[in-house]
């Protein structure tokens, strides 16, 4: 299924993640929840068959498919990188498609490496198997297919093999980094300078792992410097770091950016949660009903975070009870 690869130009590869929010409606046949649970190889094959057989009337370039705070900031990062690095090739790490370029023609879909949704690649298997190996296995399997742009690299390893002098910058949540772990480490080993693998992600979940030497350890203190919500924090930190580099600074490496991040956050304080606007039960129920209507797989934890991010408040136990009342869950 793998096609011959073209040599990828450019000294810097920027890789960031897809988002749940799409600018094009997702049809039911392109929701991962509709694929029967099973081993990753079997489930990925069934998923890819669905993507291939689904109508192509709504094809859109990857750069134009995704929405939300993370993506709106991510779109600006290649320009910030070019200021210091020169040519930049941007990529999306997609749970539904694997590794794709920003000009790849995609069909709108719903699949994610994150937990708390029916469209997670782990599916019900995560209830009785460790999540990490399931995430890794899915990335390996989805990378075997030729992809929406035949001839383009399907693995991060291929990016490093095509340009060993390259810098690979990954801006992603821990679940996506975990999914790509084997691919990332293999890519690192093929780079001429291993410290040119840079991972901008959550500090608490990855700092003691195999990516410690490559990690820009983002934590909530950075919000007081770059603003925005936690959902867009990794991208905002990356953008700020790259904009602070001198023009023509040359190849980046992880130790340099780690030092820049520590300087950026040295005097930053963890932001206190602002006291949100109180809501009545009726208002909370209406909010939950609206959100469930647009995403029936939404979990109460994600909706409570969204409510609080919007400047409103509700105690966690109370919100969970109201969510269960609306959804009929116990």
> Which H or E run contains 69?
helix 69-74
Predicted TM-score (pTM) of this structure: 0.81
**257 phi and psi angles, rounded to 5 deg:** -70, -30
Per-residue pLDDT band at 1 (split at 50, 70, 90): very low
Nearest Cα residue to 238 out of 118, 76, 100 = 76
Taken in order 165, 161, 15, 197, the sign of the CA dihedral is negative
Residues 250 and 270: their CA atoms lie apart, in Å, by 32
The per-residue pLDDT for 272 is 62
Residues 37 and 34: their CA atoms lie apart, in Å, by 9
The per-residue pLDDT for 6 is 40
Nearest Cα residue to 307 out of 285, 330, 329 = 285
Q: What are the distances in angstroms from CA 82 to CA 78, 248, 249, 260, 276? A: 6, 9, 10, 18, 40
Nearest Cα residue to 81 out of 12, 18, 15 = 12
6: DSSP letter: P
- Mean pLDDT, the chain, rounded, equals 88
The per-residue pLDDT for 128 is 52
Torsion, Cα 104 80 232 166, to 10 degrees, reads 60
Work out the average pLDDT over 280-301: 85
The angle subtended at Cα 126 by Cα 108 and Cα 178, nearest 5°, is 70
How confident is the model over 147-171, as pLDDT tens digits?
Answer: 999 899 999 999 999 999 999 999 9
Torsion, Cα 98 69 200 120, to 10 degrees, reads -40
Segments of the chain assigned E as strands = 12-17, 60-61, 88-94, 98-101, 105-106, 167-171, 197-202, 215-218, 277-278, 312-313
The yes-or-no verdict on residue 302 having pLDDT over 90 is no
Per DSSP, what are the bridge partners of residue 26?
none
How confident is the model over 195-247, as pLDDT tens digits?
Answer: 999 999 998 777 667 888 999 999 989 999 999 888 899 999 999 999 988 87
| Residue scoring higher pLDDT (85 or 244) | 244
């Amino acid at each position: 299924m793998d096609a011959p690869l073209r040599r990828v130009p450019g000294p810097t590869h920027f890789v960031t993640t897809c988002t749940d929010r799409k600018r094009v409606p997702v049809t039911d046949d392109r929701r991962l929840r509709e694929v029967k649970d099973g081993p990753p190889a079997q489930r990925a094959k069934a998923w890819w068959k669905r993507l291939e057989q689904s109508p192509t009337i709504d094809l859109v370039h990857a750069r134009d498919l995704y929405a939300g705070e993370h993506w709106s900031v991510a779109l600006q990062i290649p320009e910030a990188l070019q200021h210091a690095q020169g040519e930049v090739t941007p990529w999306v790490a997609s749970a539904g498609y694997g590794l794709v370029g920003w000009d790849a023609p995609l069909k709108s879909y719903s699949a994610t490496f994150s937990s708390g949704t029916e469209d997670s690649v782990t599916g019900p298997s995560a209830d009785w198997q460790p999540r990490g190996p399931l995430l890794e296995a899915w990335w390996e399997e989805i990378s075997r297919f030729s992809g929406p742009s035949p001839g383009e690299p399907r693995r991060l390893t291929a990016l490093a093999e095509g340009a060993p002098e390259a810098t690979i910058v990954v801006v992603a949540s821990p679940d996506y980094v975990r999914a790509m772990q084997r691919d990332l480490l293999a890519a690192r080993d093929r780079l001429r300078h291993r410290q040119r693998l840079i991972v901008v992600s959550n500090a608490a979940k990855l700092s003691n792992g195999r990516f410690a030497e490559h990690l820009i350890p983002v934590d909530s203190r950075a919000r007081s410097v770059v603003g925005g919500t936690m959902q867009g924090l990794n991208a905002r930190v990356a953008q700020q770091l790259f904009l602070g580099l001198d023009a023509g600074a040359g190849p980046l490496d992880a130790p340099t950016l780690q030092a820049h991040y520590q300087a950026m956050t040295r005097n930053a304080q963890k932001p206190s949660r602002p006291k949100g606007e109180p809501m009545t039960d009726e208002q909370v129920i209406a909010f939950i009903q609206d959100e469930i209507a647009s995403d029936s797989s939404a979990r109460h934890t994600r909706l409570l975070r969204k409510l609080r991010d919007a400047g409103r408040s509700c105690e966690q136990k109370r919100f969970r009870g109201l969510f269960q009342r609306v959804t009929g869950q116990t």
